[in-house]
Structure 1
Amino acid sequence: MGAHTEIHASAYAGAFTDPVFQSQSVFRALMDATARPGTILQLGASATPPAPLGAGAGAIALTLCDDGTPVWLTSALAQSSVPAWLSFHTSAPVTDIKPDARFVFIEAGGIVPGFDQFALGTQEYPDRSSTLVIEIASLNGGPEFVAAGPGIRDEIIVAPQGLPDIFLTLWAENRGLFPRGIDLILVAGTDVLCLPRTTKLRRREV
């Protein structure tokens, strides 16, 4: 069995076993996580996409992507069976043009491009922007940031592990573009933490 056959087979497998129920579960979790930024929630469903895309990111792709949501993938994802898998299960077109992407997927350990390379929306249509789905090692145990803003009572500590060192700078620049800007979904396994562009982050002073 050649490599080609294996790639072929993996593109058709690994979707939800109960699509309606599982996609509703994931959608609800994402809505809740967006309404309560910085709170870690379980997606309640997982997919088995081709490597290097993870279970949680795969579930998010199956839930949010369709033929009207162009997707940008890192080179590692683009060179895997992931584009075929996305195309087969969601009909989402894969684009090389970052500002055209509605959703952006970055595998764990992948290079995170500058946020301003993607669609930031316009003053009139701030929602015409990209959402970045970034897989990381863990949603706990990393550098501690204090998050504040809509949906957060007072403030909350977030400590994602596996974001680039310049993350805080990237995020501050993104915040400065408000109401334009990208939104972030951080994923570890099947847990998620959302950081909409309205969320302010600062380093926690020890």
Structure 2
Amino acid sequence: MELSALSGGFDNAAHQSATAFRAIMNVMARPGVIETVTGAVPPKGLSIAAGSLLLTLCDPETKLHLAGELDTKIIRDWLTFHTGAPIVPAAQADFAIGAWEDLMPLTQYAIGTDQYPDRAATLIVELPALTQSGVTLTGPGIQTSAALSLPAIEPLRLNAALFPLGCDFFFTAGDQIAALPRTTKLESTPCM
């Protein structure tokens, strides 16, 4: 294990993980909202928000898939040291992280079962930027409508059509995070 994998975790784990957890739950409950999440200083390739999310939600029982360029020794070592999460193939993942293209196709991830819809994968999509513009969102947690810059519409629409099954999504960029639960409906017309 590289020495650099030992640093970059939360300095004050109790406080920083609680703060990050509140932000993470807020964006999942309110699609279209963008929060700032800090605390982690992950290795190059992982954003601050993604690193903080992984430190908060992953543990030795959480199976994690690293897609594409994020599947590196330093990132594996950092996550192993700070979370203990086992790295697994996409089909076995509780969480998967990567660039949108690297996470495709969505059909390789667990979508839950009729008896256990909560056994679906959650995908963390690393993006260059997040804005409250672009695709119009409606559904639970949204008063009338919201907007969010998303990497694609059709795969996310197909995923939402699987409800109560389907994947949930977090989008991270720098220290920002947003979420798209499977209950959210997407329209291609811009939100007014």
TM range (shorter): over 0.9
SS of alignment partner, residue 134 of structure 1: strand
Task: Pick one of 187, 190, 194 that aligns with 2:175.
Answer: 190
Residue ranges of structure 1 left out of the alignment (5+ in a row):
1-6
Larger gyration radius, structure 1 or structure 2: 1
Query: What code does the residue aligned with 1:8 have?
Result: E
Shift of 1:124: 1.0
CA distance in 2, matches of 1:112, 1:118: 9
2:132·2:146 contact (CA, 8 Å) conserved in 1?
Answer: no
Moved over 4 A (4+): none
Task: Pick one of 184, 187, 191 that aligns with 1:202.
Answer: 187
Shift of 1:34: 0.9
CA distance in 1, matches of 2:49, 2:92: 23
Residue ranges of structure 2 left out of the alignment (5+ in a row):
none
CA distance in 1, matches of 2:35, 2:155: 24
- 2:156 maps to 171
**Shift in CA distance, 134/205, structure 1 to aligned 2, threshold 3 Å:** closer
1:126 corresponds to 2:120: no
Query: What code does the residue aligned with 1:22 have?
Result: Q
Shift of 1:111: 2.4
Shift of 1:49: 1.3
Over the matched positions of the two proteins, sequence identity in percent amounts to 36
**Shift in CA distance, 184/31, structure 1 to aligned 2, threshold 3 Å:** same
String of CA shifts for 1:84-108, please: whole Å, max 9, x gaps. 1111110100002x1210111114x
What TM-score comes out, normalization by structure 1 length?
0.87
- 2:39 maps to 46
CA distance in 2, matches of 1:35, 1:189: 21
String of CA shifts for 1:59-93, please: whole Å, max 9, x gaps. 11100000111000013222241111111110100
1:174·1:181 contact (CA, 8 Å) conserved in 2?
Answer: yes
1:112 corresponds to 2:103: yes
- 2:143 maps to 153
How many residue pairs end up in the alignment? Answer: 191
**Shift in CA distance, 87/123, structure 1 to aligned 2, threshold 3 Å:** same
What TM-score comes out, normalization by structure 2 length?
0.93
